[in-house]
Structure 1
Amino acid sequence: MEITGRLTRDAQVRTTQTDKEVVGFTIAINDSYRKKGATEVTQLVTYIDCSYRRSAAIATYLTKGTIVQLSGRLNEPRIWQDMEGTPRANLSFTVGEIKILGGGTKSNGGSTQETKLTKDSKAAQAVAVPTDAVADDLPF
């Protein structure tokens, strides 16, 4: 399953009892809809707690506001009652792959330079278009 959302805060690295590092973060997925016959649009935000176990090094890139596309497994919702007896639920996602799409706060260190180099190399690849592909008969 793939989901795309924006990090609500910087990712945190935790260590399990078996000394494995887990990167934990929460994403927000924004959606809007209009009820049939209504004129006002209702905004809906879904928060999903995510855990990534492959490499803790990615945590420096997962800063508040970063838009990410995640591939992985949606876990069963956890349902409980708070102290006042109000029912609550929590969605969690086990991440297998992370794609950073943009946004976020600037982090200290060399990560900005690495991101810039990656963007520049992708732009160079996009510019290298064969000349025969440009001579298309497009109606516009």
Structure 2
Amino acid sequence: MEIIGRITADATVSETKAGKKVVNFSIAINDTYKTKGSTEVQKFTTYVNCSYWINPGVSAYLTKGTLVECYGRIGANAWTNKEGEVKASLTFHVNTIKLHGRSTGGNTASAPVVPMNTAPAAVSEVAEDLPF
């Protein structure tokens, strides 16, 4: 699955009891639609909580306003709170992050696309398969 959006706050790094580090961040995805029979455009934003377990060093690049493209899978979490109510949430478990630029307050300069998890062998296999 792929999602593209802007980071809502600087990423944080947490450590599990076993010593494994995880980078947590949230992405805002803006979308629009028109209701049937209307010409008025409706705008809405979806917020997605993300976790990245591969390289905690990437957190320095995941700052508020940065446009990112993330590949991964969705995981579901369920628990019962202190009042006995059942709660649930979804988390996007990121495998690959590509940075597309930082929010610079109107400056159009952007950061280069930086894949954080690539497989060079797979790229060469595809190149040999091209028909031209």
TM-score normalised by length of structure 2 = 0.69
Equivalent in the alignment of 1:130: none
Equivalent in the alignment of 2:21: 21
Q: Deviations over 1:68-113 (max 9, x none)?
A: 00010012375989x8x9xx864310000000011236xxxxxxxx
Determine what percentage of the aligned residue pairs are the same residue.
Answer: 45
Equivalent in the alignment of 1:133: none
Structural RMSD (CA): 2.8
Instruction: Select the structure of larger CA radius of gyration.
Output: 1
Q: Which runs of no fewer than 5 residues in structure 1 stay unpaired?
A: 106-114, 119-140
Q: How many residues align?
A: 106
Structure 1 pair 79–69 and aligned structure 2 pair: CA distance change class (3 A): farther
- Detail structure 1 runs of 4+ shifted over 4 Å in the superposition: 77-81
1:20, distance to aligned residue in structure 2 (A): 0.7
SS at match of 1:44: strand
TM-score normalised by length of structure 1 = 0.65
Is 1:7 aligned to residue 7 of structure 2? yes
Q: Which runs of no fewer than 5 residues in structure 2 stay unpaired?
A: 105-110, 115-132
